[in-house]
Each structure stands twice: as structure tokens, then as C-alpha cells.
Amino acid sequence: MLERFETVTTKRVAKALDRLQSSGGIMVLSGPHGQGKSTAVQMAMLDRPQVRRSLVTPTGERCSPRGFYQDIGLSLGIACHHNFSAAQMAAEVARTVNKGGLLLALDNAEEMRAVHFSCVRYLADLVPGLVLVGSDALMHKLRRQEAVRTRVRLPIEAAAVTAEELQRFFGAEFSQSFLVQLHEESAGNWSAIWNSVDAARDSGQRTQDFGAEQAASLVEAFVVRAA
């Protein structure tokens, strides 16, 4: 079960999603890997069941428009007929989204190619709003995709977790020295923080006994695994 963790980014996302429902267009949430972008969308989903997150990472065999819409359709539970064209698949996705009053968030959007951005632009005309979530590379790609860029109404850059946010959420469980060092070593990177906290919890030791040295060691271990 996802734990509630309110940060600057989660609050920005929640407000933007509410605005997106009334104004339409495309919302873009970008930032470095591990900065908590997907987590922020998941947090918003806890209070907004109409937000559906679709993990769409097109690969070589999914480079066609039909394959792109099919992946989204599968994430929405749509039965994909083999004889459907790309336009028919897009129409099925739009029908499901509109009928359910949903907002569709497409994750890993930095992996999209030019053909996929064309699909996003097409889909943006069929549904009330879209959310693109991706790394900083997504913004670089969007600069070359004018048709999509002109539909972006709500660009949001994910912010690092602050020391105050870290203390507020984990202060009752961990020592201040651990959290201060954890924030310094992780530079507020959500993935590094969460994985370090998870490792501390799984260690079998009392979490209040963890100090600065353990925080540095846990973050270093995460960085090595992620490299």
C-alpha cells in the first residue's frame, strides 16, 4: 500500500489535475530520474479515482500508432480486437476515458518517438485532458514537437524533497541525525530516500538507532545498485 507523502511536487500535481479537468489540454510533469514524479501522480490518484496512470514505454515492436494506442487500451482494460485500425483503437481509448470521466497519465513519456507524439496530439483532441510524465529528456523532445507543445497548458517541474518534508514524514520513526544526513546524501532525491528508508526498515534493527553513518551507507548502496 502506498504511504501518504505530501511534498511540494504532490501538491502542485494535485492542483494542476483539478485545473486540467476544467481547462483541458496537456499537463507535463518532468524532472530528473528518481525525483518522485510517478509517486506524485500516484498520490493524486489516491484522492482522484478518475486519474488513470498508464505505463507506456514504446519499444521497437510497439513503434506503430496502433501499438501505442493498444498499450494504453490494455492499461484501461479494453479488449483489443486484432482487426482494429489505429484510429479505431484511439476511438476506443477515448470512449473509455470520456465515459468514465477519466484523466489519463502517460508515464515514461521521455521514451516516446516522433510517431508517438503525433498520437498524443491526436488523442488530445479526443479526450478532455492528458498528462505526460517523464524525465528532463521529455522537455528536450517536446521542443521539437510543436504540435504537442502548443497544447501544453500546465508544465510542472518536479522539486526535490525538502529537509522539512522529510522530517515531517519520517520524524517519528528515525533520528534527526539520520534524516539530516539522509537528505544531504540524497540531495532530496525521492527514490534514494525511499529505498534507504525501506532498507533500514528491512534490516531488523530499531529504526531510531540509525544515525548519520548508516544514512550515508544506505544512500551509497542505492546509488551503486542504480548505476
Q: What is the pLDDT of residue 227?
A: 63
Are residues 169 and 39 in contact, defined by beta-carbon separation less than 8 angstroms?
no
Give the pLDDT mean for 27-56: 83
Q: Is the pLDDT of residue 181 over 50?
A: yes
- What grid cell was written down for 169? 514524514
Whole-angstrom distance, CA of residue 144 vs CA of residue 175? 47
Domain at 8-157: CATH code? 3.40.50.300
Describe the crossing of helices 65-75 and 114-124 by its angle, rounded to 10 degrees: 60
Question: Would you list the domain boundaries of the chain?
Answer: 8-157, 163-226
Are residues 79 and 132 in contact, defined by beta-carbon separation less than 8 angstroms?
no
Domain 163-226 is in which class? mainly alpha
Tell me the pLDDT tens digit for each residue of 79-127. Answer: 777 788 999 999 999 999 999 888 888 988 998 888 899 999 999 999 9
Tell me the pLDDT tens digit for each residue of 193-219. Answer: 999 999 999 999 999 999 999 999 999
Tell me the pLDDT tens digit for each residue of 44-92. Answer: 877 777 777 766 665 545 578 888 898 888 888 887 777 889 999 999 9
Whole-angstrom distance, CA of residue 143 vs CA of residue 149? 7
Q: Which range in 2-16, 31-45, 205-219 is most confidently predicted, on average pLDDT?
A: 205-219
Q: What is the pLDDT of residue 76?
A: 86
Q: What is the pLDDT of residue 60?
A: 45
Average the pLDDT over each of 34-48, 60-74, 160-174, 183-197 and give the range with the smallest value: 60-74
pTM of the predicted model as reported, rounded to 2 decimal places: 0.87
- Percent of the chain topping pLDDT 90: 56
Whole-angstrom distance, CA of residue 61 vs CA of residue 80? 16
173 burial level (CB within 10 Å; 0-12, 13-18, 19+)? middle
Give the pLDDT mean for 21-25: 83
